[in-house]
Amino acid sequence: MKKGFLISIFVLSIVLITGAMAFAGEKPTLDIDWYGYFKLDGSYDQNLTSHGNFVMWVPQPAYDKNDDQFNMTANQTRLGFKANGNGYSNAVVKGQLEFDLYGASIAENKAMLMLRHAYFSVQTGQFTLLAGQTWDLISPLNPSTLNYSVLWSCGNTGYRRPQITLSYTANPNDQTSITMSGGFFRTIGTDLTPTFTLSLGETNDESDDGTDAGIPSFQGRFDFKRNFAGKGFICAGVSGLWGQLKSETTLGNSQKYENSAIVGHLMVSWPQGFGFSGEYFTGSNMGSYLGGIQQASTIDGVAAQGGWVSAWAKLSPSVKFGAGYGFDDAKDEDITSGRTKNSCFYGNVNYTLIENVSIGLEASQWQTDYVGGETAKSFRTQTSFVLNF
């Protein structure tokens, strides 16, 4: 009853706030614009990596500790559509639909679509309501990597999932904005075994522990942004999440557990074309949020901490350099096997060949530590060819 009451209060608040919106004219319309890019990535790895076309960690070598690999893919090619409302007097209406080709492919040259974003937002005054699938509120920044996975499982947390969020933005002056956001999110988990002894003939119910909890997870974020003279700015903030999951068995027994996190973020961009950004997180059972090196969640919890820092400099209209470091450290006492720590150094350069066409080169050094003291390493070079539209 309490769960349903809290959810009902949140939904009612959204309805009351957005109910004040008024439309101008009889038939407001939406303009649809499409965008995206074609991208080819080629990469050489000193050793086998987690995913081949991109890397999140270095697996333990089964045989050869110098198992070099070469991959080439067009799967990061991206297509999207943006909707912008016209004729709304007291509201700003927007929507976005976006795909890439990293779906469950049959083969490398038979890629399938993967949904990235599918949401709309309605802004009235200082309030914005968003519904659909898009980025988590936690960990809002990404480092400037050519690698598709942007240091996920190596210090960068947060992903995309279905949600309903409400944001409030205050503007104390023309240069400053303060935004507070919160919402309900789909909890994505696995089917864990309860820690107590199962009865004779009792098995797991084979359903997602996130849906079995009966409530969504909760995320919130506080952002502060200050614009400099010109195009520069500084933004900083803190975000957090809490979710409850429930392990159930076929005889109706159950046990609850949680995932949680706190994340701090900072970004500074100077008008001269250079800047830096970074994040730090600490949390528990962060696997579905791409933290804790994606160690499987446990009922007792897998604690982890990590972060990343990235810097960039635009030397000319055609040349931009980037470099950074990330690490993700799972608590050794909470795991019995697998990855315990992951780290990466990277550097890249992007060159605009002609308008809308760029070429990039990136070098990175990856190291993954395992229970028992074994360490796996790989040096990676990657090049990218991009046509934006």
**Model pLDDT for residues 126-165, shown as the tens digit of each residue:** 999 999 999 999 999 999 999 999 999 999 999 999 999 9
Task: Show Cβ contacts of residue 102 under 8 Å, excluding neighbours closer than 6 positions.
Answer: 75, 76, 111, 114, 148
What's the pLDDT band for 23 if we cut at 50, 70, 90?
Answer: very low
**Residue with the larger pLDDT of the pair 27 and 149:** 149
What 8-state DSSP symbol labels residue 52?
Answer: S
Domain boundaries, the chain: 29-388
* pLDDT value of residue 2: 54
Report the pLDDT averaged over residues 10-24. Answer: 50
* pLDDT value of residue 46: 95
- Condensed to tens digits (0 to 9), the pLDDT of residues 68-103 reads 999 999 999 999 999 999 999 899 999 999 999 999
Check: CB of residue 363 under 8 Å from CB of residue 348.
Answer: yes
What is the percent of the chain where pLDDT is above 90?
Answer: 83
Check: CB of residue 209 under 8 Å from CB of residue 296.
Answer: no
Check: CB of residue 355 under 8 Å from CB of residue 388.
Answer: no
* pLDDT value of residue 271: 92
Token duo for residue 109: 């040259």
Alpha helices in the chain (DSSP H): 2-18, 209-212
The CATH code for residues 29-388 is 2.40.160.10
What DSSP string runs through 129-175?
EEEEEEE-SSS------SSTTTTBTTTB---EEEEEEEEEEEEEETT
- Condensed to tens digits (0 to 9), the pLDDT of residues 264-311 reads 999 999 999 999 999 999 999 999 999 999 999 999 999 999 999 999
What's the pLDDT band for 10 if we cut at 50, 70, 90?
Answer: low
* pLDDT value of residue 24: 43
What's the pLDDT band for 104 if we cut at 50, 70, 90?
Answer: confident
Q: Would you tell me how many other CB atoms lie within 10 Å of the CB of residue 38?
A: 15
